[in-house]
Structure 1
Amino acid sequence: MADALKDQGNKAFAAKDYDKAIELFTQGIAIDPKNHCVAVNPSWSKGYARKGAALHGARRYDDAIAAYEAGLKVEDSPALRKGLKEVQDAKAHDAEDDNLGLGKMFADRNLLAKLAANPRTAKHLADPSFARQIQMIQQNPKLASQLLSGGDPRMIDVLGALMGVDMQGFSRPEGSDDLPEGYAKAEEPAAPPPAPKKAKTPPPPEPAAEDQDMDDEDAKAQKEATEAKKIGSEAYKKRDFEAAAAAFSKAWETWPKDITFLTNLAAVQFEQGDYDTAIATCEKAVEEGREMRADYKLVAKAYGRIGTSYSRKGDLESAIKFYQKSLTEHRTADVLNKLHDAEKQKADADRKAYLDPEKSAEAREQGNVSFKAGDFASAVKSYSEAIKRDPSDARGYNNRAAAYLKLVALPEALKDVNEAIKIDPVFVKAHIRKAHILFTMRDYTKALEAIQEAAVHDTDRKNANEIQQQENKIQHAIYSQRGTETQEETLERAMRDPEVAQIMNDPIMQSILEQAQGNPQALQDHMKNPMIRQKIQKLVNAGIIRTR
């Protein structure tokens, strides 16, 4: 039964009824799956030949070569040698074309759409024979160099279009047409290199009269549309948006094969403040562009203008979505910058929308509960939520610093307490906590400065006892650290502090210190100046000036 189906399939194949042949062969395989293929019977050389031919047709040259070589190991047949030679030649030929860049250009899936959108090449597609040639090249790009050297001037137009030559202002990149503000005109690209001279082949037959009439009609419509676009651009420059919109609408109605007419119309609608209509027009441009396989740069432009319209409406989430779609189609610096701005604005808006002092107080209280229970990690989490809800409340930072201190995360604790003091410079509890953190870090000089700053701001003396206890503790640590230091050792250690070094190198402070050596009372007089007093106190704390 399987053999009978195989015979019928062979007859259908010979009659070029390939669909019928596939059906019959498939039925035969279902009945007898062991009927030869190379997986079932690795010694079947004809199977390797057919596999190699199939892979050759798919332009998988390396796989095809491997299949032929595997077959030759089974049987040294002329068919296998011939197939191997053909695929090796094809691979070499494609490599040559790739060096010229032709294979990549003609393999573009948007090839026909690009040619249809170009005024010089669109009319050539009206010739069925020429259109078939283009389709043949698209299916097998290695034919490109052969047909380019055939002497047909229309192929030169095709090459120029694919190399990006701006024939009549078509296929401009994002922002390069004459419309929106801030968009500059694209520079004229260089002319395409001449096609290599080879033996000429007979030119294709001239199009039929009926095709020529259709070509002329399309050319006329396209010319009218181009003129309407020009009028629209001039009106746009004069900010006559009604006239511009009418002209661009007419251009699209006359020649609905170029979506730049729609994106230009959307630009006008955007300037008129009709953002919803601009979005709808650009969405239509994308839909039509997909249908006609338009240049991805034009689709990217439409997506970008949708994003800008949403941004102007204040819908930043949608703006970000369409900016990302635009960049997926074609990446430009303009759209990328707009995306970054929109993301930044959205993050700021989200942060502001999250602000809630009442919920901040609730989170801070929850943090206090966790802190008292000894769950300092949970306390950090709750205090962080309090900060997000109200970053202007210094208590959240100060409390989180206390939790970090318990976790011995000293750099994080110091950073938080500094932020608390930045928000509220007279926050006594924050200055006390800073002194505690610095003491734990064994930076006794700065710890002493911090506790002295706390004393300055404790005007009601509610924290006087705590401040005094902390200062005594710090002074004792300093005395223990410096008890055996000589004056030279003290100076060397103190000068490692950049602030101390700056004070000591200040000519004014040098003069004051020289006066103080001969007249200690002069030092007391200078300390009446708050800035001088602060610097002298710094030197006292560092041990350079000794009070006893």
Structure 2
Amino acid sequence: MIHQKKMSAEEFKAQGNQAAKEGRLADAIDCYTKAINIDGSNHVYYSNRANIYHQLEDYDAAVADAEKCIELKPSFGKGFLRKADALAAMGKREEAVEVLRDGIESCGNTEPLLSQRLSSLEAGAGGFGGAPGAGDPGAFMRNMFNAEGMAKIRANPKTAKYLADDPSLEQKLTLVASNPQMMMQVAGADPRLMECMLVAMGIDPDMMKDMPPAPGAPSFDAKPANPEPPAPKEPEKVLTPEEIEANKLKDEGNDLFKEKKYAEAIEKYEAAFAKHKSILFLNNISTALLKMEKITEAEEKAMEAYNYGRDNPGTATFEELGKALTKAASAQYARKDYEKAIKTLKSAMLEHRSKQTLALLTKVEDEWELIKKQNAYSPEKAERAKNEGNELFKAGKYQEAVDKYTEGLKALPLDPEREYRDDNEKFTANKTLLTSLLNNRANAYFKLGQMNLSYDDADHIVSLIKDTTNTKALLRKGQIERLRRQYYKAVETYKKVLEHEKYNNQEALEGYRKTTEKIQELQRNPDSKEAKEVTEIAMADEEIQKIASDPGLAEVIKQISTNPQAAQQYLSDPNISSRIEKLINAGIIRTGQ
């Protein structure tokens, strides 16, 4: 049988990179998604997919992937850049600025583009038409290639491909932004620059192709297009003098915040709020107080922000309300008030479901569960509950016994996936007690007729605790497998007991004898209703399905049936003989004996 090599996540990433370079953006998304499905813990895959979503103008998806990238690796600056660029492209400049500020704080100097993007975004706050210094060609050019302009360039499939194919193009854009006098010289040598400039201004370059070029202007050779007329833009909000002054004070506060001068930043935010009431300024104050480790004050200010937004409809977005509650929860978490923090975060999610809030909620809930488990840990209580359960079992009070054994297991709150290890002292010290509680509860469940629960407890001992020779658990498993008519399983389970006990266990001997006799009876009567039902039960088992559908084994069985010499050779291989025996015991292969 030919086995195809499975591609690794890194191979899918490489394919995605190549597809992006060739402009096959949908294929790139597919490749990065496959890489994520294999390894969802790699931040780079989310960063790359965010970039492609941005180029496809699916900004919400770009933001979501960027947030996941930040969650996985908060020190990776590109995650913050991806999110800020997407927000800027959506016109959410204030949020983009806040993301870049968070990125600078999280990454330090490891990603210099964060500071550069923040400076250009703050410099271009007024847009192109009415920006300060709009009459100054230098200021106009700097504003054109600020974060918002670059976001538009990266979002346009044509100009995005230019940047992907030739990294030097972005350097030329930076050169022109810094030296506007070189614009015509550089654009004359590289017409792509003019296309980037038009895209940054919000103009489709293809619209310019039907117009006669100005003397000396670079021309475009592409075919003319007939785009639909652009939708009319909404008029920009005219700020009051108070709002302008408040924003100026807020920006000064932001600069102080970046310098970690939190007390001075708070003064600026408070002055901004005095000039113009906004939840944004109150949220900023709460953030600064958290940085100063003034936990109670930070919580109070965050709740003040939330209540202000709620009491004054129209003054705050759902996202801002959610942020206020998240900041309050961060303060509650900082003082270890887990239950209150969880409640507040759930309320924040109702206001606005953000990835950051969800990540914090998951973190707080996980820590709280761990603390509750640590507080519940008591081997003495577990031992006491086991003894009380045993007395109830003897009195025939099986449900009450189950409750006591369950109480004992809760006093040994060990996670099978993470804590069932020989280097874990709690596990090794309580392995015998844990096994005893599970065996006793399996017995009580069996008395109550709850076979599945009984089987699960017995299997827990063998499979998870890895006490593979535990006679009580194996006998319970074998007994239930016989009742389920899974004879192919029961015969192997009883065999394990016999091998371990050196064939000196009467219950295992009796169970093995009855099981093998039943298998032989069904083989002699393959057309009986019971034989067919037993085969159907076996075929519902994934392990049996896998063995039965193996074409290599089918070929071996065919050769064995026609060539006795081949039979001896194949059946001497334990791997082959054990699988064939399992199919016989399951009734899939009929021997007629």
Under TM normalisation by the shorter chain, which class is it?
Answer: 0.5 to 0.7
Q: Which amino acid aligns with 2:485?
A: R
Q: Which amino acid aligns with 2:445?
A: Y
**Contact persistence 2:446–2:454 (CA under 8 A):** yes
Match of 2:252 among 231, 235, 243: 231
Q: Which residue of 2 aligns with 1:255?
A: 275
Partners of 2:93 and 2:315 lie apart in 1 by 10
Match of 1:331 among 327, 331, 352: 352
**Contact persistence 2:526–2:590 (CA under 8 A):** no
Q: Which amino acid aligns with 2:102?
A: E
Alignment of 1:424-503 (within 5 A): 424-425=465-466, 426=468, 427-456=470-499, 458=500, 460-461=501-502, 464-485=505-526, 494=535, 497-498=538-539, 499-503=543-547
TM-score (norm 2): 0.49
Partners of 2:561 and 2:362 lie apart in 1 by 61
Q: Which amino acid aligns with 1:342?
A: V
Q: Which has the larger radius of gyration?
A: 1
Q: Which amino acid aligns with 2:251?
A: K
SS at match of 2:102: coil
* Structure 1 position 307, deviation (Å): 0.5
Match of 1:419 among 427, 444, 460: 460
SS at match of 2:526: coil
Q: Which residue of 1 aligns with 2:439?
A: 398
CA deviations on 1:72-107 (whole Å, 9 max, x unpaired) are xxxxxxxxxxxxxxxxxxxxxxxxxxxxxxxxxxxx
Q: Which residue of 1 aligns with 2:289?
A: 269
* Number of equivalences: 349
Q: Which residue of 2 aligns with 1:178?
A: 98
SS at match of 1:349: helix
Partners of 2:503 and 2:395 lie apart in 1 by 26
CA deviations on 1:120-176 (whole Å, 9 max, x unpaired) are xxxxxxxxxxxxxxxxxxxxxxxxxxxxxxxxxxxxxxxxxxxxxxxxxxxx99967
Partners of 1:174 and 1:422 lie apart in 2 by 54
List runs of 5+ in structure 1 lacking aligned partners: 1-171, 195-217
Match of 2:336 among 314, 325, 345: 314
Partners of 2:310 and 2:371 lie apart in 1 by 35
* Structure 1 position 353, deviation (Å): 2.9
Partners of 2:255 and 2:371 lie apart in 1 by 39
CA separation of 1:235/1:349 partners in 2, compared to 1, >3 Å: closer, same or farther? same
List runs of 5+ in structure 2 lacking aligned partners: 1-91, 105-117, 126-147, 149-230, 415-419, 421-433
Alignment of 1:64-213 (within 5 A): 178=98, 181=102
CA deviations on 1:428-481 (whole Å, 9 max, x unpaired) are 32111101111222332322222123334x2x5496222112212323333444
Partners of 1:451 and 1:363 lie apart in 2 by 31
Q: Which amino acid aligns with 1:411?
A: N
Q: Which stretch shifts more, 292-301 or 363-372? A: 292-301
**Contact persistence 2:524–2:592 (CA under 8 A):** no
Partners of 2:503 and 2:391 lie apart in 1 by 24
Q: Which residue of 1 aligns with 2:449?
A: 408
**Contact persistence 2:570–2:577 (CA under 8 A):** yes
**Contact persistence 1:494–1:500 (CA under 8 A):** no
Partners of 1:492 and 1:288 lie apart in 2 by 69
* Structure 1 position 489, deviation (Å): 10
CA deviations on 1:311-369 (whole Å, 9 max, x unpaired) are 244332121232244456x3333445644553454334323432323322222222222
Partners of 1:453 and 1:275 lie apart in 2 by 60
Match of 2:581 among 533, 537, 547: 537
SS at match of 1:181: helix
Partners of 1:416 and 1:277 lie apart in 2 by 50
**Contact persistence 1:354–1:388 (CA under 8 A):** yes
CA separation of 1:531/1:455 partners in 2, compared to 1, >3 Å: closer, same or farther? farther
CA separation of 1:511/1:481 partners in 2, compared to 1, >3 Å: closer, same or farther? closer
SS at match of 1:257: coil
**Contact persistence 1:320–1:339 (CA under 8 A):** yes
TM-score (norm 1): 0.52
CA separation of 1:412/1:512 partners in 2, compared to 1, >3 Å: closer, same or farther? same
Q: Which residue of 2 aligns with 1:244?
A: 265
CA separation of 1:491/1:481 partners in 2, compared to 1, >3 Å: closer, same or farther? closer
SS at match of 2:98: coil
* Structure 1 position 547, deviation (Å): 11
Partners of 1:376 and 1:407 lie apart in 2 by 7
**Contact persistence 1:379–1:403 (CA under 8 A):** yes
* Structure 1 position 523, deviation (Å): 5.6
**Contact persistence 2:486–2:537 (CA under 8 A):** no
CA separation of 1:487/1:318 partners in 2, compared to 1, >3 Å: closer, same or farther? closer
Match of 2:302 among 274, 278, 282: 282
CA separation of 1:455/1:403 partners in 2, compared to 1, >3 Å: closer, same or farther? same
* Structure 1 position 529, deviation (Å): 4.6
Partners of 1:286 and 1:223 lie apart in 2 by 23
Q: Which residue of 1 aligns with 2:376?
A: 354
CA separation of 1:367/1:350 partners in 2, compared to 1, >3 Å: closer, same or farther? same
Q: Which residue of 2 aligns with 1:27?
A: none
Partners of 1:496 and 1:242 lie apart in 2 by 72
CA deviations on 1:9-60 (whole Å, 9 max, x unpaired) are xxxxxxxxxxxxxxxxxxxxxxxxxxxxxxxxxxxxxxxxxxxxxxxxxxxx
**Contact persistence 1:282–1:303 (CA under 8 A):** yes
Q: Which amino acid aligns with 1:275?
A: I
CA separation of 1:261/1:529 partners in 2, compared to 1, >3 Å: closer, same or farther? same
Percentage of matched positions with identical amino acids: 26
**Contact persistence 1:435–1:447 (CA under 8 A):** yes
Partners of 2:493 and 2:93 lie apart in 1 by 60
Task: Give the superposed CA RMSD.
Answer: 4.4
Q: Which amino acid aligns with 2:285?
A: L
**Contact persistence 1:231–1:244 (CA under 8 A):** yes
Partners of 1:288 and 1:487 lie apart in 2 by 77
CA deviations on 1:395-414 (whole Å, 9 max, x unpaired) are 33332222222111222222
Q: Which amino acid aligns with 1:303?
A: L
